[in-house]
Structure 1
Amino acid sequence: MEGVMNTYLTTEELSARIKYDARTIRQCLKDSVLFEGVHYIRPFGGRKILYIWERVEESMLQGASAQDLIQSIQ
């Protein structure tokens, strides 16, 4: 993917950008709204998580339907 630049953010940096608490991102959004391989990666197979800002922003702008939100609670 030549020419494609991604912005990688830690949970704390993402928290500052989207105005959500880092704990909310870890406990509520990760793996229910933000998915590994789409919205975040674990570089070098480690524990550290880096969020791909462009993918997160794209998902936020598309928005979630009410049905998506209801299903995530169940």
Structure 2
Amino acid sequence: MNNTYLTTDALAERIHYDPRTIRDCLIDSVLIEGIHYFRPFGGRKILYIWENIERDMIASCASTFSIPMADGGVCHG
């Protein structure tokens, strides 16, 4: 199994989010332990599994259909 493991800072850089947003908002709501991240050796450090995160980000985009409107709004289909 070839996975790319990222720290919070490396993930933040890759997805253009603030590390604090990842820790405070995405952990355990969007990023699920055992799927998107794990704690090696039962410690406090978190490593993120890039391939799983990328897969689910793309899947969530594909399932959301929206049409940009001329006035700047969005119509969700």
Band the TM-score falls in, shorter-chain normalisation: 0.7 to 0.9
Which residue number corresponds to residue 75 of structure 2?
none
Query: Which of 38, 45, 70 matches 2:42?
Result: 45
How many residues of Structure 1 are paired with residues of Structure 2 in the alignment? 63
Unaligned 5+ runs, structure 1: 67-74
State the TM-score, normalized to the length of structure 1: 0.80
Quick check: which one's strand share is greater?
Answer: 2
**Whose helix proportion is higher, 1 or 2?**
1
Q: Tell me, which stretches of 5 or more residues in structure 2 are unaligned?
A: 65-77
What do the CA deviations read for 1:23-57 (whole angstroms, capped 9, x no partner)? 00000001000000000000000000000000000
TM-score w.r.t. structure 2 length?
0.77
Q: Percentage identity across aligned positions? A: 65
Partner of 1:28: 25
Q: How does 1:59-74 map to 2 (within 5 A)?
A: 59-63=56-60
